[in-house]
Amino acid sequence: MHLTHLSPEQIQSMLPPALAHRLASDDAVEGDAGLARRSFLKLATASGFALGAYPLMATAQQPAAPAATGLKPDQQPAAFVKIARDGTVTVTVNRLEFGQGTHTGLAMVLAEELDADWSQVRAVHGNADPAYNDPAFGMQITGGSTAVKHSYTQYRELGARTRAMLVAAAAQQWKVPASSLATERGVVIGPGGKKLTYGALADAAMQQPVPVQVTLKDPSRFKIIGQPTTRLDANAKSSGTQAFGMDVRLPGMLTAVLQHPPVFGSKVASVDDAAARAVKGVKAVLRVPLHDGGEGVAVVAEGYWAAKQGRDALKVQWNDAGREKVDSAKQLASYRALAAKTGNIKHDADMAPLAGAPNKISAEFVFPYLAHAPMEPLNCTVQLSGSGAAAKATVWTGTQMPGLDTAAAARTLGIKPEQVTMNVQMAGGGFGRRGLLTSDFVTEACTIAKAAQTAGLTAPVRTVWSREDDVRGGYYRPMHVHRAEIGFDAQGKVLAWDHVIVGQSIMAGSFFEPMMVKNGVDETMVEGMGKPYSVPMRLSAHHPKLNVPVLWWRSVGSTHTGYVMETLIDDIARATKQDPVAYRMKLMDAKAVRHRAALQLAVDKSGYGKKTLPAGRAWGVAVHESFDSVVAYVVEASVENGAPKLHQVTAGVHCNLAVNPKSVEAQIQGGALMGLSMCVPGAAITLKDGVVEQSNFGDFAVPRITDMPAIAVHIVPSADAPTGVGEPGLPPLAPAFANAIASLTGKPLRELPFKLA
């Protein structure tokens, strides 16, 4: 997802009142962390005393440390660090961990400045407390490859402050100047080699003032940052013992599944639930309102299978009067008609040279709707208790926006945000789908729990989406059509580039619209166009409104703009008989230093232009910047039995300082795989009479293990502050693959998924 166009002030000014409210929760997520805004609190646990803080306990804990004046909640170590007597360091991470490695990366950053023993470091999720806001955005969010980028300095300072307090405690105990002490691997070292472990000092350290100013390490002294490090969650995930949101189990818990209307926004005309209620284990059948104005029918039962069997037995008649019934074929025709006309202007270069250009390319590109399809489908567990002013709700879910979802849960349940406890769970993927401005799956779960309570069911309710619910449930990467008219000379100099994009706006209708939609153009749709090349471009966009919910999808606008730019650049290179790498280097803007470095690294490591490829194979090249990181791919591909085949991928990555090279490698590999998913036959969401035609991986294709190429990832060395890698690995894969195939067939691929015939 993508909010990096906005300043913190702009985002904060647009937050709805519910989000602006200072959220608080009674319990820390997983019992490990919470917020103490003014002090460190002394906390005794079974394993010893710990640096940590639990909200609403200040009056019960004495004595308290001096107030850390001049520090914001997200700068206070209390909410982020707990050190147990045995020396275990638990770092609370302000982002959802859903496969991108943030828990390990940010824990590494904090542990570096803390001088912790990495073998004793653990990580847990934060909750909906404002301490866990993104320090740049001022709201809680995991997306846009911003986790390490935005919290790098924050977590370094948190570690340094904690270390300073431990050193101060040791100095006080030994009655020596703090400047005479050193730290290493979880130990404070004093005169004569005396040592005190962090665990032994944690209680006394809590009594020390929190330093406002700290000196951070010179990168040359890093021992943890920059080292290839196995992820903290690797063992649990590889052994099948990791618990996800889907795995929440509570005493007496019931499971609900929801029958959504086949046409988005439709209502229930009638429902015959006799057969559903007869299914063993079914406790209730509930007609519930949905966030988009439509209605659904929820079946609540003892376990998922009973709930699903009950839903399968429902006989529902739907009222879709007044709801647009989108048809993909008709939609494509209307998009093509719009693409023939100039839309709202983003860039407005002079197009006069186009008419007289000696060489021209006219191209149309078609991109379908795409489902996010994370391995763990959506789920949310809600437990309600009390009533009136004493009402409380506890929520367990994997969410990219805990604060927003807490506010949405409170609004749905008719209670205050501080009456909602949000427990952020490990999530099995998301790609943007768990970060909605509508909070759809959270509000649905709360609506169902509330209706179940009204029906006399007091147990917690876990609402689960099936794979079919997920594929048909809306919030897709929008469908797009691009039209390009390019004029260029014999040397490949672009004289004029007229470009029109047609697609639904993601930001329209949201509280981000005032800043993200400018002159009628959604910034997320046009990002990546033109750059990094020096080309005179007139760029315009149309945003038709359709009854299909759309959302950011991993790498957002770059999913299609990167493809268009990099395949058209190759087309010009072929038309002017130039090497595609040399042509890119020549056409790049002078400021594109990182692009050149990433591309050159991929070229050098791949053997491009030097080694001889097997018969029937060709090189393909693409480079693209998204979310402030640059990824270049050099690939080897062929056509086997009439189908494209990707064999080898070499990546050059410029993400500045790589906190954990292993995570960078994994994210580039994952991004490349997801980029490949746009290319395989069947990778499209289509609609007929308003109904999504796909339902599961049998008809919404994803790459299989036999499709996966060998991938080598190489990182451009840099000491600059890190940028993100969760999303940038995706955009250049498809165009690099397409360019290789076009080199073999002589025919550009202008539609995804690929169609060679």
3-state secondary structure of 554: coil
Inform me whether the pLDDT recorded for 48 exceeds 90.
no
- Mean pLDDT throughout 366-379? 97
657: DSSP letter: S
* Dihedral angle over CA of 18, 20, 25, 31, nearest 10: 120
Q: Residues 162-219: pLDDT tens digits? A: 999 999 999 999 999 999 999 999 999 999 999 999 999 999 998 999 999 999 999 9
Rounded Cα gap, residues 186 and 184, in angstroms: 6
Pull the structure tokens for residue 379: 């789920």
Band (81; pLDDT cuts 50, 70, 90)? very high
Band (103; pLDDT cuts 50, 70, 90)? very high
Fold of 8-239: Aldehyde Oxidoreductase; domain 4 (3.30.365)
Going by C-alpha positions, the residue among 742, 727, 722, 331 that lies closest to residue 527 is 727
What's the CATH code, domain 245-321+378-464? 3.30.365.10
Which strands, in side-by-side order, build the sheet including 392-397? 282-289, 295-301, 254-259, 461-464, 379-385, 392-397, 420-424
DSSP string, 385-435: E--GGG-EEEEEE--S-HHHHHHHHHHHHTS-GGGEEEEE---S--TTTT-
Going by C-alpha positions, the residue among 426, 428, 410 that lies closest to residue 418 is 410
Quote the pLDDT of residue 70: 82
Pull the structure tokens for residue 463: 């609402």
Q: Residues 606-660: pLDDT tens digits? A: 999 999 999 999 999 999 999 999 999 999 999 999 999 999 999 999 999 999 9
- Mean pLDDT throughout 6-33? 37
Q: Hey, what amino acid is at 641?
A: N
Rounded Cα gap, residues 692 and 708, in angstroms: 28
Q: Residues 293-331: pLDDT tens digits? A: 999 999 999 999 999 999 999 999 999 999 999 999 999
Band (68; pLDDT cuts 50, 70, 90)? low
* Cβ neighbour number for residue 523 with a 10 Å cutoff: 22
pLDDT above 90 as % of the chain: 90
What DSSP element (H or E) covers 710? Answer: strand 710-715
Going by C-alpha positions, the residue among 482, 481, 483, 463 that lies closest to residue 473 is 463
Give the helix ranges, DSSP H, for 263-401: 274-277, 304-312, 328-339, 352-355
Going by C-alpha positions, the residue among 531, 737, 544, 714 that lies closest to residue 628 is 531
Quote the pLDDT of residue 105: 98
* Fold: same for 8-239 and 341-370+475-745: yes
- In the chain, how long is the greatest CA-to-CA distance? 84
Inform me whether the pLDDT recorded for 520 exceeds 50.
yes
| Burial of 582: CB neighbours in 10 Å, binned 0-12, 13-18, 19+ | exposed
DSSP string, 482-499: EEEEEEE-TT--EEEEEE
Predicted structure pTM score:
0.91
Strands 121-125 and 89-93, sheet pairing? parallel
Rounded Cα gap, residues 486 and 357, in angstroms: 9
Quote the pLDDT of residue 2: 52
The torsion angles phi and psi of 34, rounded to 5 degrees, stand at -165, -160
Please, what is the average pLDDT of the chain?
91
Q: Computed over its alpha carbons, how large is the radius of gyration of the chain?
A: 27
Quote the pLDDT of residue 60: 24
Considering the four listed CATH numbers 3.60.15.10, 3.20.190.10, 3.40.50.150, 3.30.365.10, the one that applies to the domain covering 341-370+475-745 is 3.30.365.10
* Cβ neighbour number for residue 514 with a 10 Å cutoff: 12
Q: Hey, what amino acid is at 305?
A: W
CA dihedral sign of residues 94, 97, 100, 105: positive
Q: Residues 146-166: pLDDT tens digits? A: 999 999 999 999 999 999 999
Q: Residues 245-260: pLDDT tens digits? A: 999 999 999 999 999 9
User: What are the structural domain ranges in the chain?
Assistant: 8-239, 245-321+378-464, 341-370+475-745
| Burial of 596: CB neighbours in 10 Å, binned 0-12, 13-18, 19+ | buried
Q: Residues 660-714: pLDDT tens digits? A: 999 999 999 999 999 999 999 999 999 999 999 999 999 999 999 999 999 999 9
Rounded Cα gap, residues 177 and 197, in angstroms: 18
Rounded Cα gap, residues 325 and 439, in angstroms: 24
Q: Residues 579-612: pLDDT tens digits? A: 999 999 999 999 999 999 999 999 999 999 999 9
Quote the pLDDT of residue 757: 78
Inform me whether the pLDDT recorded for 28 exceeds 50.
no
Inform me whether the pLDDT recorded for 24 exceeds 50.
no
Q: Hey, what amino acid is at 562?
A: G
Q: Which residues contact 70 (CB under 8 A, 6 or more apart)?
A: 212
Going by C-alpha positions, the residue among 104, 89, 82 that lies closest to residue 34 is 82
Strands 461-464 and 254-259, sheet pairing? parallel
Going by C-alpha positions, the residue among 414, 488, 404 that lies closest to residue 449 is 414
477: DSSP letter: B
